[in-house]
Chains A and B, each alone.
Chain A
């Protein structure tokens, strides 16, 4: 299915939530409202004509230093791939600075947990409903979000204690029935 057909399918199913679209070097970027992301992605995953069974990546972007930018400060791009049908999808969500939140899709794809943690760590987008939204690449004592444009590249932070991981371990042991 090409991008245009996909756009029509999403528009028909979720009317009024598609904000626009743009061609990105042959791949149609479909711009959506943040609040419908889990529903749309679940639909794209489960619908037999779409069958996007793999989440390739979640890309977070801070547009605050982009020349002549007038939109919301942050953006998140969801890259999906269907291994059975071979097509790809690119969904984009604009995220405001005052309320940088997107509902989580961590229950839909196993790798979304870490990808959302990375977007939170680097840019500071919060994923509502995420089971364990904490830093992943940066140290847990790190202050700020390094890939924001107002974070100077030369800034250094002194970080001391390593993480115990007991918060995650406690939850995991409970899930495995060790109570």
Chain B
């Protein structure tokens, strides 16, 4: 079986003796199987290499990097503003949270004051994106374990949220909505009404999905007690976000290190108790409801005013000034040609993304390009634990588990 993989002898341990020697030592036939890297159930290019004892996974190792495209190197060759579209492609299921995370880090570096309205709209955008990220995760996870109907219920409303996001920024997935110092554009006039209507539909579909699964014997058997990870192990693996909370740790950056006035909104942090696939799926439905509460609160007291700072270091002047007076023209020229140049320094900044703590460590050297950008993708930590979690489980459980830890290859491999 392994011979198929070994056409070259570049690596130290790659000869077909590897498996043969094992077979002789244990006198038992383990079958080696590749799960991925290209398979509908892997939701991206991830590879798990399994040694199967019957249908049970005796040992599993994983390989990542199939979607590695050099995000960090690309950032070094582009200006700070030009990095924003690259961040869309990290977690492409909730692109706006990445935009916000990156801009927030750069703004802290520059000490730019973002207008209150822009901050409130960023919260709206983040929570809408968190909802669709959870809908995708739960919907796709359920379809992986055979519950196709739920997929339509979650993806129908997701589509409606995308219609709103499209009207908001002009794109569906690759939003690039934020700018350093604010947003690319303000809300459109009917935004308020449309969001409220969609929120109702989301609540309805979440309720429907919960009704479909909560007493469904097949669903419960497929998820309860499957691929459990303990609190301690999850923390040691650096898990954050819904997957950590499913193990029972009440940790959410929106509460523990509040930013963007999250401390002013009323919302709860749902936590699980077991840390199995069931907890990880169900927790996301509760989080969707909390995000809906946050959105309602933001909409009820949305501040008025500009959505872009007037800080000359980062904001382009209004067109009348660019064409009307020399200062405006120079300001425009400076930003386009010389870029945004934070003073030399290093900064780590983080946001609560849909998957967990999304961090950016940025090194600036005083030029318009970042000197170094290190992205801390939350699902890198989740996938590091994947091999260990599925050992002892069955192949079908490995698929159910992969969906529940919500691996997005775009941010995993960068």
A residues adjacent to B (C-beta < 8 A)? 24-25, 27, 29, 53-57, 59-62, 65-67, 77, 79, 83, 86, 90, 109-111, 113-114, 122, 135-141, 146-147, 151, 153, 160-170, 172-173, 175-176, 178-179
- Report yes or no: A53 in contact with B357, Cβ–Cβ below 8 A: no
Residue interface bits B35-75, CB-to-A below 8 A is 1, else 0? 00000000000010101000000111101110010101110
A139 to B347, CA, bound (A): 30
- Report yes or no: B381 in contact with A163, Cβ–Cβ below 8 A: no
CB-CB < 8 A to B72: which residues of A?
Answer: 122, 147
Stretch at the interface among B3-11, B166-174, B213-221, B289-297: B3-11
- Report yes or no: A77 in contact with B361, Cβ–Cβ below 8 A: yes
- Report yes or no: A83 in contact with B249, Cβ–Cβ below 8 A: yes
> How far does the Cβ of B203 sit from chain A's closest Cβ, in whole Å?
31
Stretch at the interface among B118-126, B150-158, B234-242, B280-288: B234-242
CB-CB < 8 A to A90: which residues of B?
Answer: 348
CB-CB < 8 A to B384: which residues of A?
Answer: 110-111, 113-114
CB-CB < 8 A to A170: which residues of B?
Answer: 13, 18, 22
Which of A56, A110, A166 has a CB less than 8 Å from the CB of B376? A56
A111 to B237, CA, bound (A): 5
Q: Given A109-B238, A153-B74, does the pair A169, B61 have CB atoms closer than 8 Å?
A: yes
B residues adjacent to A (C-beta < 8 A)? 2, 5-8, 10-14, 18-19, 22, 25-26, 28, 30, 32, 47, 49, 51, 58-61, 63-65, 68, 70, 72-74, 76-77, 108-109, 233, 235-238, 249, 251, 256-257, 344-348, 357, 359, 361, 363, 365-366, 371-372, 374, 376, 380-381, 384-385, 387, 391, 413-414
Chain B residue nearest to A168 in the complex (CB):
B61
Known: A67-B366, A109-B236, A110-B384. 9 other contacts (CB 8 A): A79-B361, A110-B236, A163-B11, A166-B18, A167-B12, A169-B18, A169-B59, A172-B61, A173-B22
- Report yes or no: B65 in contact with A57, Cβ–Cβ below 8 A: no
- Report yes or no: B59 in contact with A178, Cβ–Cβ below 8 A: yes
- Report yes or no: B361 in contact with A137, Cβ–Cβ below 8 A: no
Q: Given A24-B348, A25-B347, A173-B59, does the pair A138, B238 have CB atoms closer than 8 Å?
A: no
Chain B residue nearest to A164 in the complex (CB):
B5
CB-CB < 8 A to B233: which residues of A?
Answer: 110
> How far does the Cβ of A121 sit from chain B's closest Cβ, in whole Å?
9
CB-CB < 8 A to B346: which residues of A?
Answer: 24, 29, 77
- Report yes or no: A138 in contact with B60, Cβ–Cβ below 8 A: no
Which of A27, A114, A162 has a CB less than 8 Å from the CB of B348? A27
A17 to B276, CA, bound (A): 43
A137 to B41, CA, bound (A): 21
> How far does the Cβ of A65 sit from chain B's closest Cβ, in whole Å?
8
CB-CB < 8 A to B47: which residues of A?
Answer: 165
- Report yes or no: B359 in contact with A56, Cβ–Cβ below 8 A: yes
- Report yes or no: A66 in contact with B371, Cβ–Cβ below 8 A: yes
CB-CB < 8 A to A54: which residues of B?
Answer: 235-236, 238
- Report yes or no: A172 in contact with B59, Cβ–Cβ below 8 A: yes
Q: Number of contacts between A and B (CB, 8 Å)?
A: 165
CB-CB < 8 A to A160: which residues of B?
Answer: 8
CB-CB < 8 A to B2: which residues of A?
Answer: 164, 166
Q: Given A111-B381, A137-B413, A164-B2, does the pair A57, B32 have CB atoms closer than 8 Å?
A: no
CB-CB < 8 A to B372: which residues of A?
Answer: 59, 61-62, 147
> How far does the Cβ of A120 sit from chain B's closest Cβ, in whole Å?
13
A24 to B344, CA, bound (A): 11
> How far does the Cβ of B30 sit from chain A's closest Cβ, in whole Å?
7
Chain B residue nearest to A79 in the complex (CB):
B348
- Report yes or no: B238 in contact with A55, Cβ–Cβ below 8 A: yes
In the complex, 16 of the A-B residue pairs with CB atoms within 8 angstroms, ordered by the A residue number, are A24-B346, A25-B108, A86-B257, A110-B237, A111-B384, A113-B384, A135-B65, A153-B70, A153-B74, A164-B6, A164-B18, A169-B32, A169-B49, A170-B22, A173-B22, A178-B26
Chain B residue nearest to A69 in the complex (CB):
B365
CB-CB < 8 A to B249: which residues of A?
Answer: 83
A151 to B72, CA, bound (A): 13
Chain A residue nearest to B4 in the complex (CB):
A164
CB-CB < 8 A to A66: which residues of B?
Answer: 344, 365, 371
A146 to B19, CA, bound (A): 33
Chain B residue nearest to A77 in the complex (CB):
B361
Chain A residue nearest to B413 in the complex (CB):
A137
- Report yes or no: A169 in contact with B51, Cβ–Cβ below 8 A: yes
CB-CB < 8 A to A141: which residues of B?
Answer: 10
- Report yes or no: B13 in contact with A166, Cβ–Cβ below 8 A: yes
CB-CB < 8 A to A139: which residues of B?
Answer: 65
A59 to B25, CA, bound (A): 41
CB-CB < 8 A to A57: which residues of B?
Answer: 238, 348, 359, 361, 374, 376
CB-CB < 8 A to B74: which residues of A?
Answer: 153
Chain A residue nearest to B357 in the complex (CB):
A56
- Report yes or no: A167 in contact with B14, Cβ–Cβ below 8 A: yes
- Report yes or no: B374 in contact with A59, Cβ–Cβ below 8 A: yes
- Report yes or no: B58 in contact with A176, Cβ–Cβ below 8 A: yes
